[in-house]
């Protein structure tokens, strides 16, 4: 019985059968405009007759186009994916990427994975989330010549960026508490995710702090630096920050938290100290992640369009990757205050209201 062998048809087989070079065969599939139309057509007909199909990975690499987007995050992936904010942001990123036929490669700088990713040219561009422009791995992306979109940090003049109106949203949150009569207000900010890393002077923490301070200034009140504590953007981080403030002797009637996760942690720690929300302590978050409306009580917070921000970042990146619109754009999405059950009048204000009601 005759033994039959099956061998993958190679580009050299097509070139020999069509009487052209291997380069011409590559052009016929990848850059047909570089050949005469009848030549390109003839090569493809020969390829079809032989059953030749370009290897998809080899084809992508020859075009320097992998149809993969890198998402560079500031923290370990195990931490990032436990954060409800990043989950919502990733939904937006994934939706836009899938619609355009792109895969995602999540990269944490803490594990040094970006160096190998860039070195192997496995991404066409990078979305950098919450990292300062001077971060070493951001600089590495730039040095590799890859397009990069900065999210929630200052963008490069020649690259696109997207963020939200952090100052305006924070100011609205502080004005809400001040209008309720609160003056002893604790601010829980977001500390850098990496030990020893300085805060981005143009980052989220700074912009929101500017917004809070503007609301205080408008009422002739100074924001006390001793009433600002730092936290990781997590529930446990928020709880720990409130405990440290309480142990230091601070007795706030309200808290401005720079994320919803922090705010929920603050409410947990407040209950441990016998405080009621909002009767004894009002709490305002920032983000409006899905779980905020199910907190106990439902969380007053600053809504930002998280999923839209993820989608927008990908579309800005692909506009450059696919050369549809390489001109840089700096976009700022709007925020709004959502008032729920976690805020109420300051305790002394509440007492006055109760007395007036008899």
pLDDT tier, 105 (very low <50, low <70, confident <90, very high otherwise): confident
State yes or no: cis peptide before 278, omega within 30 of 0: yes
Do 18 and 110 lie in one domain? The reply is no
Q: Return the DSSP state at 154.
A: P
Q: Residue 132: which residues within 8 A CB-CB, separation 6 or more?
A: 138, 153, 154, 200, 202, 203
Q: What is the CATH number of the domain that holds 38?
A: 1.10.260.40
- pLDDT value of residue 111: 56
Q: Is a pLDDT exceeding 90 seen at residue 278? A: yes
**Do 123 and 174 lie in a common domain?**
no
Average pLDDT, stretch 289-316? 97
Residues 203 and 352 in one domain: yes
Q: Are 187 and 227 in contact (CB under 8 A)?
A: yes
Query: Which position has the token pair 């059953």?
Result: 51
What is the predicted pLDDT for the residue at 349? 59
* CATH number of the domain encompassing residue 136: 3.40.50.2300
Cα distance between residue 67 and residue 124, in whole Å:
6
Average pLDDT over residues 233-237: 91
pLDDT at 10: 83
Q: Do 143 and 265 fall into the same domain?
A: no
Does 284 reside within a domain?
yes
In a domain, residue 210? The reply is yes
* 10-23 tens-digit pLDDT: 888 899 999 999 88
pLDDT of residue 44: 87
Of 84, 89, 81, nearest to 309 (Cα)?
Answer: 89
Confidence of residue 106 (pLDDT cuts 50, 70, 90): confident
Mean pLDDT of the chain: 86
pLDDT beyond 60 at 187: yes
- What pLDDT sits at residue 67? 87
Task: Quote the CA–CA distance of 80 and 316 in Å, as a whole number.
Answer: 23
In a shared domain, residues 271 and 142: no
Q: Is residue 6 part of a domain?
A: no
Asked whether residue 4 is domain-assigned, the answer is: no
- Per DSSP, helices labelled H in the chain are 11-18, 22-30, 37-50, 56-62, 77-80, 84-99, 113-119, 136-143, 166-179, 204-218, 235-247, 260-272, 306-321, 347-357
pLDDT tens digits for range 128-161? 998 888 887 788 888 778 899 999 988 788 889 9
pTM metric for this prediction: 0.78
What is the C-alpha to C-alpha distance for residues 155 and 329, in angstroms, rounded to an integer?
9
> Is the pLDDT score of 277 beyond 50?
yes
Assess if residue 291 is contained within a domain. Answer: yes
Position 201 scores a pLDDT of 66
């Amino acid at each position: 019985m005759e033994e039959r062998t099956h061998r993958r048809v190679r580009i050299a087989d097509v070139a020999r059968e069509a009487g052209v070079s291997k380069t011409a065969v590559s052009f016929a599939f990848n850059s047909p405009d570089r050949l005469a139309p009848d030549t390109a057509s003839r090569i493809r007909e020969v390829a079809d007759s032989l059953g030749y199909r370009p290897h998809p990975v080899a084809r992508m690499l020859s075009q320097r186009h992998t149809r993969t987007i890198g998402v560079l995050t500031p923290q370990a992936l195990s931490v990032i994916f436990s954060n409800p904010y990043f989950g919502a942001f990733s939904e937006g990123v994934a939706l836009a990427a899938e619609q355009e036929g792109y895969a995602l490669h999540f990269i944490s700088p803490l594990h040094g994975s970006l160096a190998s990713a860039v070195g192997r040219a496995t991404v066409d561009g990078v979305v950098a989330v919450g990292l300062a422009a001077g971060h070493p791995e951001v600089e590495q992306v730039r040095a590799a010549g890859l397009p990069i979109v900065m999210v929630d940090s200052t963008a490069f003049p020649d690259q696109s960026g997207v963020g939200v109106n952090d100052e305006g949203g924070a100011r609205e949150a502080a004005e809400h508490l001040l209008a309720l009569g609160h003056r002893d207000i604790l601010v829980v900010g977001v500390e850098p995710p990496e030990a020893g890393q300085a805060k981005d002077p143009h980052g989220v923490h700074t912009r929101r702090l500017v917004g809070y301070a503007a609301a205080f200034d408008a009422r002739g009140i100074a924001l006390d630096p001793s009433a600002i504590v730092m936290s990781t953007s997590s529930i446990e981080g928020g709880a720990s920050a409130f405990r440290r403030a309480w142990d230091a002797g601070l007795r706030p009637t309200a808290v401005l938290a720079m994320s919803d996760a922090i705010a929920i942690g603050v409410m947990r720690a407040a209950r441990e100290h016998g405080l009621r929300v909002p009767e004894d302590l009002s709490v305002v978050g920032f983000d409006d992640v899905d779980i905020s409306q199910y907190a106990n009580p439902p969380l007053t917070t600053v809504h930002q369009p998280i999923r839209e921000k993820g989608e927008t970042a990908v579309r800005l990146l692909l506009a450059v990757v696919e050369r549809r619109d390489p001109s840089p754009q700096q976009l700022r999405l709007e925020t709004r205050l959502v008032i729920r059950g976690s805020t109420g009048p300051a305790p002394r204000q509440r007492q006055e209201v109760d007395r007036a009601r008899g």
